[in-house]
Chain A
Amino acid sequence: MVPAETIARSGGEARTLQGGWIRARLWTGRHAQWWLLLPMLAFVIGFFLLPLLGMLTISFYQSAPGRVYVPQFSADSYVRFLADPWYWGLLWRTIWLALVVTAICLAVGYPLSYWIWRARGASKALLMGTVLVPLFTNLIARLYGWQIILSKSGPLNFALGELGVLDKPVLFNYNFGAVVVGLTHIALPYFVLILVSVLEGLDRSLIEVARNLGAGRLRSLVEVVLPLSAPGLATATAITFAWGMGAYAEPLILGSPREWTMSVEAERQILAGFDWPFGATIAFVLVASMLVLIFLLIKAFTRKGAVR
């Protein structure tokens, strides 16, 4: 097919060409993409993974009064945590708070996301905007707003008083309920945002197909949309739960010391008590339990009738 002369003239394998050969290799070589990924990966590894490791290391150091820590191996902090039932209670209260908030987000957030997904045009933009605004409003501002709403002289008491439900103002603040309200308020927009973006990735026409085959609206939701959105739902739930476990400002502003979480305690130990090893221990236990529970959560989701 190809004349022998052409083969001969081309002289064997490709030889080096002029100039930008090496640069060309850089871009077209098999590993070109790694050069572009390098900065971000280095950043994440250097300022996220390594510090986490550092935190872990410090948790195994010796606490010392007067000094932040002594770089000497000691498992004292862990013993102190694990042996004291109060700390176990603290961990449990943190988990419980996160569970409650996540459950509420699921119950309330899914319908809202579904509604947004099915909406079109201006109304959709409006709905999304409404969900996004709290997301980017200052955390403190919002919690502060709740403090006002729930306070004795706040609008809630005012409204209930007018409606005749209450004779005198009740303190709605500084309890578990208030913290749940605040935390849900913070977590819900993230949940909805993630879920809507997942739903957007689904094929709209699936609903039409289901309806066409005779399924009512409720049924097509449950039997078609729910299973398909399950993986995304798992992600949204996992993230909400993770952040719920890390709750810091909400328990402090809206709760009494009984509602304070692991994060609060860790901060107290580090910034107020200057006991870095112990603070690090608390933080690490928090992270570890968070990861374990999320893993179990996702397992549960993907087992429970999801199309995987």
Chain B
Amino acid sequence: MKVSLVWPRWDGYVFCLRLVGGLTLAFLLAPIVIVFITSFTAGHYIAFPPKLPLGLTWYEEFFASERYFGAFLNSLLVGALTMLLSLALGLTAALGYTHRRFKGRTAVYYLILSPFLMPAIILGISLLLSLGSFGLQGSYLVLVLAHSLWAAPLVFLIMVAVLQGMDPALRDAAMNLGAGPVRTFFEVTLPMARAGVISSALLAFVVSFHEFAMALFLTSPSTQTLPVVIWTSLRFEVRPVIAAVDSIMIGMVMLTLLVIAKLIGIEKIRIG
């Protein structure tokens, strides 16, 4: 045993740890709270503290506005389609990946996850440049494809973790008792992985719903999603309706997260 420095046996470092952690959490939540509060302002400008009396005027304006509400619907549509595509791709890939060990499996894993590494901008640019010449720019399709580049690997990641946590004997038993591969999937694999499927589907939706950079490059005025509309509004006008929109989006996310947390323990997501 080599001679080592005397480490401080001072457990007060735990307190420091908690302090840093606590401050960080406050840091993470601050802007969200601020936006939420200002969305209720009675004034016509963004300011903090918000002008009293607090009310729902800006929320009403949001639902009334064709521009904002239309973008909201666009986001929902793109989100839903992304969710479906990512599920289809990610789920089948996860099934293939966990079927058995095979040569090149690690390479496949990293290949599937590689789009994740890329900043959204790069994905947006490359798709615009390549598919723009096909006239797909501004269509819902290309945006769904772009969002799926992030969402599908995410679904894959989660489903692989879920499937690998399952006892392989279950699949073997089902097949041994006479269920073909497809039947086994629907009778045994899917019901047991249900929580994971729902969670990853919701995650895919949320990722798409909030995505900004790719949407900026790939949408046209008619297909603009909510983040893009907020962005352009921000540059020209600074009205509280934007805060209301943001708060609505935040609210939807909270709901989704609650559902996910209920269904699947957060510890179950692993990477690598």
Contact = CB atoms under 8 A, between A and B. Distances in A.
B65 interface: no
Given A133-B253, A280-B129, A200 B267 contact: yes
Tier of interface size on chain B: 35 or more
B18 A249 contact: no
A138 interface: yes
A217 B18 CA distance: 14
A248 to B, nearest CB: 5
A246 B122 contact: yes
A216 B17 CA distance: 15
Nearest to A195: B271
A33 B99 contact: yes
Interface of A: 20, 27, 32-41, 43-44, 47-48, 50-52, 54-55, 58, 108-109, 111-112, 114-115, 125, 127-134, 136-146, 148-149, 153-155, 158, 185, 188-189, 194, 197-198, 200-201, 215-219, 231-232, 235, 238-239, 242-243, 245-249, 253, 263, 266-267, 270-271, 276, 279-280, 283, 286-287
Interface of B: 7-9, 11, 13-14, 17-18, 20-21, 24-25, 27-35, 38, 46-49, 88-90, 92-93, 95-97, 99-100, 102, 108, 111-112, 114-123, 125-131, 145-146, 148-149, 152-153, 156, 180-181, 206-207, 210, 212-213, 216-217, 226-227, 230-231, 234, 242-243, 246, 249-250, 253-254, 256-257, 261, 266-267, 269-272
B119 A246 contact: yes
A112, A154, A194 pick with most chain B CB within 10 angstroms? A112
A248 B95 contact: no
A263 B210 contact: no
Given A130-B25, A266-B121, A36 B271 contact: no
B17 A115 contact: yes
Query: Taking chain B's interface residues, is the majority helix, strand, or loop, or is none over half, making it mixed?
Result: helix
B127 A47 contact: yes
Nearest to B226: A138
Nearest to A35: B96
